[in-house]
């Protein structure tokens, strides 16, 4: 099953999420398909399979729980596109992909 993420739209300040009994209420997505517990479970499983290492929000990487330090890198357009493609192929964010690469290099020294 392939999940069509374009079917969903979240509007900050307007979209509200609460407990809904999908057996009692008919809800349709933007393409008109009925949303059921089974379709939600299947799509959640597909997303977890496609992006196994992606966790929204993330946690602090610092021992103290403080904000983790950041670095910036300037890349060519081609390198930037390749980095995004490799991160997508790995199922992680660009930040996590770059962090894994850096940590692997540091461990090899």
Range of the domain at 5: 1-50
Closest CA relative to residue 68, chosen from 108, 29, 100, 99 = 99
Residue 59 belongs to a domain: no
Task: Mark residue 28 as left, alpha or beta (left: phi above 0; alpha: psi -120 to 50; beta: remaining).
Answer: beta
Note the pLDDT tens digit of each residue in 6-32.
666 666 666 666 667 777 778 888 888
Same domain, 45 and 89: no
- Tell me the pTM: 0.46
Same domain, 28 and 73: no
Closest CA relative to residue 38, chosen from 79, 75, 1 = 1
User: Is the pLDDT confidence value at 99 over 70?
Assistant: yes
Helices 77-90 & 94-108, crossing angle to 10 degrees? 90
Tokens of 76: 């060519």
Note the pLDDT tens digit of each residue in 69-88.
888 899 999 999 999 999 99
Q: Which residues contact 10 (CB under 8 A, 6 or more apart)?
A: none
User: Is the pLDDT confidence value at 1 over 90?
Assistant: no
Same domain, 46 and 73: no
User: Is the pLDDT confidence value at 56 over 70?
Assistant: no
């Amino acid at each position: 099953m392939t999940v069509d993420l374009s079917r969903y739209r979240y509007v900050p300040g307007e979209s509200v999420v609460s407990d809904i009994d999908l057996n009692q209420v008919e809800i349709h997505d933007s393409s008109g398909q009925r949303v059921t517990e089974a379709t939600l479970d299947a799509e959640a499983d597909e997303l977890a399979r496609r992006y196994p290492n992606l966790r929204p929000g993330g946690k602090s990487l610092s021992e103290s729980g403080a904000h983790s330090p950041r670095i910036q890198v300037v890349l060519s357009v081609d390198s930037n596109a390749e980095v995004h493609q490799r991160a997508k192929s790995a199922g992680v964010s660009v930040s996590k992909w770059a962090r894994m690469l850096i940590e692997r290099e540091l461990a090899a020294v």
